[in-house]
Amino acid sequence: AYTLDDTIARIAKIGYDGIEIGAAAPHAYPPHLSADRRAQIKDLLQQHDLKLSSMLPAPSGGPGNNPASPYIEERRATVEHYKELAEMVALWGGKTLIYLPGWTIFGTSRRQAWAWSREVLTEVADSIAHTGVTLVIEPTTHDTNLCVSADDAIELMQDVNRPNVKLMFDTFHVLWNHEVMTDYAYKMGADLKHIHMSDNDRLPPGRGVGDWPALIDALLDIEFDGYLTMETGFHRRGIEPDEDARVSVEFLRPLVAEREALRGIKPNSK
């Protein structure tokens, strides 16, 4: 466990361009951050020349924040949580906020849970439009039971139909569900704005079964220009965090450059 200050310094030293910050305790749960602390984090990112690639609302770090909850109090709190996160993203120079559609509680039909999540997402999208922040819907096959595929995420995006609601996916969830990573890239196409990178079992990319050259080729095909954000190792003990971060970027950055060079594309540091 490291402080956010130490984490920012470590990630910058290893050579990353950006960092995704989870809105959970102890790092960045909004009710715990004073105005001075928020300004301090902004200064830290600037000092280390690190961009805020995205923010992730982390349910385990707060009071639930399930937009599909049968309790209206929790749904209302979730709306406020996302609105506050969007302001933080904008303050720290970011453009992307991940939307987790939530999970169906026993006794609630999927159709009702979907409607509640859609209503929350629509209200949040309208409320944060002035910030310039884009909400990206993440399907989470391994963790939830509501939005679990590329098709689900696309359907929710289309249901909401707001210009600041787009898509993302996490390669771990795709591999866990025995699906093909490139399928997600091609299905989401121009609406894909963010991606979480990890191999099966949350291993660093290149350490498992994933076909990474094919995925990079697919991302180039659809002209993806977002961040490749590592999300590895956090679900288990017995890892070296610095090593996970280092081997991930040392594997992917040359691979991206290689696949770009084959097409005559100018290298992109993201």
pLDDT, tens only, 11-35: 999 999 999 999 987 788 888 899 9
> Which of 22-36, 93-107, 210-224 has the lowest average pLDDT?
22-36
- pTM equals 0.92
- 153/178 Cα distance (integer angstroms): 18
Assess whether pLDDT exceeds 90 at residue 64.
no
User: Quick one: pLDDT at residue 237?
Assistant: 80
User: Quick one: pLDDT at residue 269?
Assistant: 47
- 177/241 Cα distance (integer angstroms): 25
Mean pLDDT of the chain: 94
Nearest to 20 by CA among 79, 85, 102: 85
Assess whether pLDDT exceeds 70 at residue 62.
no
Find out whether the peptide bond into 26 is cis, omega within 30 degrees of 0.
yes
pLDDT, tens only, 112-132: 999 999 999 999 999 999 999
Cβ neighbourhood burial of 225 (10 Å; 0-12, 13-18, 19+):
exposed
User: Quick one: pLDDT at residue 183?
Assistant: 98
The residue with greater pLDDT, 25 or 186, is 186
